[in-house]
Structure 1
Amino acid sequence: MKAVLCKAFGPAETLVLEEVPNPEAKKNEIVMDVHAAGVNFPDTLIIEGKYQFKPPFPFSPGGESAGVISAVGEKVSHLKVGDRVMALTGWGSFAEHVAVPAYNVLPMPETMDFTTAAAFSMTYGTSMHALKQRANLQPGETLLVLGASGGVGLAAVEIGKAMGARVIAAASSADKLAVAKAAGADELINYSETNLKDEIKRLTNGLGADVIYDPVGGDLFDQAIRAIAWNGRLLVVGFASGRIPELPVNLALLKG
């Protein structure tokens, strides 16, 4: 089969397309014929050697994909050959076929296409876990989403609205904010043109955001944390800005 390979850490331009052996399903795995693969920010970090884990060389990047099962391991009973599925693979999705632990595979809804399914699990799974299980977002609360036009940001906007929150979307340009608005955002902040903290306070009548969803970090974190509501919850999702911020613990003390 053909696969995109990373043979040494570096930029995307160093990736190569080569022939490699087809994978075989171990007893708790399935093999999927890949119809579409998602591309996420962590994929770029992995190939540059900047992520939490470093796969052994050579490896095929790609943390999620969708396709049709072509082989099933002997211990797998809930999936079968021919099933349309989406999977979280960690890496390996930028290939014609991929072997995946069965517990990381979900059947696709009949109405969902492969392209949508391939880009669904990581972004929406991350945002659902953050907003529901970690923040316990409640109807009527104010949710601030930083980087609101990115994959996890857009998912957070949509899920936040579905959970009944008032959603403030923050991004760096009018075009990006238009995307967030189309996804359901109630209020918009262009943080390249205004002070983020001041705008949050203005839009919340000085109360601040109940939940802050932050996949960006850096200077935006520093401003947003100063506009969090009493008993607010901060969701640390990522550091797309490149700087991991430090939290002044006196701010946490003052906010309950």
Structure 2
Amino acid sequence: MQAWLCENPTGVDALQWKELPTPQPQAGQVLVEIQAASLNFPDLLIVQNKYQIKPPLPFVPGSEYAGVVRAVGDGVRHLKVGQSVACLSGTGGFATHTLAPAALCMPLPPGFPPVDAAAFIMIYATSHHALIDRAQLKPGETVLVLGAAGGVGTAAIQIAKAAGARVIAAASTDDKCALCKSIGADQTINYTTHGLPNAFREAVKAATGGKGPDVIYDPVGGDFSEPAFRSIAWRGRYLVVGFASGPIPSLPLNLPLLKGASLVGVFWGDFAKREPQANGAMMQELAQWYAQGKVKPVIDRTMPMAELKAAYAHMGSRGVKGKLVLVN
């Protein structure tokens, strides 16, 4: 097998494409021949030693991937050799093969292509858990999605629309806004032309007839959080999803008081561990939604696995719309 090996987590340049012995699965594991792996923001942080999970060295990055089971370890009953699966295991994806915990593998129904499957679990599980579970989104409510052209943002638009909500998508270019419209957003705000804080707040006010959004989905953080929260509707729910812009913001706690609003944390990874039955039911519903055409990952482009460093550079340029996927 071949894999991108991180022996020294000083950044992307230190990764090396190496030949390694193909491992055999232990109890509870499966050997997956990887067909596709998506690039996520944590995949950048983990090779810079900036992610909250620090795997023992050396390790193979790549948190999310899809492929075919080629061998199963003892005790594995729900997966068989030759079965197509998707997996979000945190590491191992940027390779031709990996050992995956069988419990983390999602069996794929027929007609679920590996490129879509490799880009599916993280963004749709995060967005469904955020909007449907944590925000209790209701039909007819208005959702403001920040960073709406990214992976979780595009998933949030589709899930909010599937739930019967009205969606305002905020993104940084006209191209990205057009993409958001094409996948269901009712209105868009280009926050480069509607600068923070005042022009952005005025644009949100105009888009909601002065009421403000009922739910704000924020994977961006930084300078957006306070002006967005100041725009929220009475009894609104502000979803803290992530901090793609870098800085973790501080909010004045009088804002939730004045708006009768809730600040809601979204940590899908821990939800999946603590409430596995609820998470399993959610993933089953999402697979059905995919089959029904309600959700489909937006793929910015596919690139050969050997071009991982170029893929990282493209992600760093902030030009990605949806997800980047590496293929073998």
Corresponding residue number in structure 1 for 2:69: 69
Q: Deviations over 1:19-64 (max 9, x none)?
A: 1222221211111110111111110011111111111111110001
Aligned residue for 1:152, secondary structure, equals: helix
Corresponding residue number in structure 1 for 2:54: 54
Contiguous gaps of at least 5 residues in structure 2: 261-328
Corresponding residue number in structure 2 for 1:12: 12
Does residue 203 (structure 1) correspond to residue 207 (structure 2)? The answer is: yes
Tell me the distance in 2 between the aligned counterparts of 1:24 and 1:233: 47
- Contact (CA 8 Å) 1:215, 1:237: kept in 2 or not? yes
User: Which residue identity is paired with 2:33?
Assistant: D
Corresponding residue number in structure 2 for 1:99: 99
Does residue 225 (structure 1) correspond to residue 229 (structure 2)? The answer is: yes
User: Which residue identity is paired with 2:66?
Assistant: A
Once superposed, what is the RMSD of the aligned Cα atoms? Answer: 1.0
- Contact (CA 8 Å) 1:23, 1:99: kept in 2 or not? yes
- Contact (CA 8 Å) 1:197, 1:224: kept in 2 or not? yes
Corresponding residue number in structure 1 for 2:238: 234
- Contact (CA 8 Å) 1:4, 1:61: kept in 2 or not? yes
Corresponding residue number in structure 2 for 1:214: 218
Corresponding residue number in structure 2 for 1:255: 259
Structure 1 vs Structure 2: percent identity of aligned residues?
Answer: 55
Does residue 246 (structure 1) correspond to residue 264 (structure 2)? The answer is: no
TM (norm. structure 1) is 0.97
User: Which residue identity is paired with 2:23?
Assistant: P
Contiguous gaps of at least 5 residues in structure 1: none
Aligned residue for 1:209, secondary structure, equals: coil
1:73 deviation in Å?
1.7
Tell me the distance in 2 between the aligned counterparts of 1:6 and 1:227: 43
1:67 deviation in Å?
0.5
- Contact (CA 8 Å) 1:131, 1:137: kept in 2 or not? yes
Tell me the distance in 1 between the aligned counterparts of 2:7 and 2:167: 42
- Count of aligned pairs between the two proteins: 256
Corresponding residue number in structure 2 for 1:89: 89
Tell me the distance in 1 between the aligned counterparts of 2:205 and 2:162: 24
User: Which residue identity is paired with 1:240?
Assistant: A
1:13 deviation in Å?
2.2
Corresponding residue number in structure 2 for 1:149: 149
- Contact (CA 8 Å) 1:196, 1:220: kept in 2 or not? no
User: Which residue identity is paired with 2:36?
Assistant: A
Runs of 4+ in 1 over 6 A off after TM superposition: none
Aligned residue for 1:98, secondary structure, equals: strand
TM (norm. structure 2) is 0.76
1:107 deviation in Å?
1.2
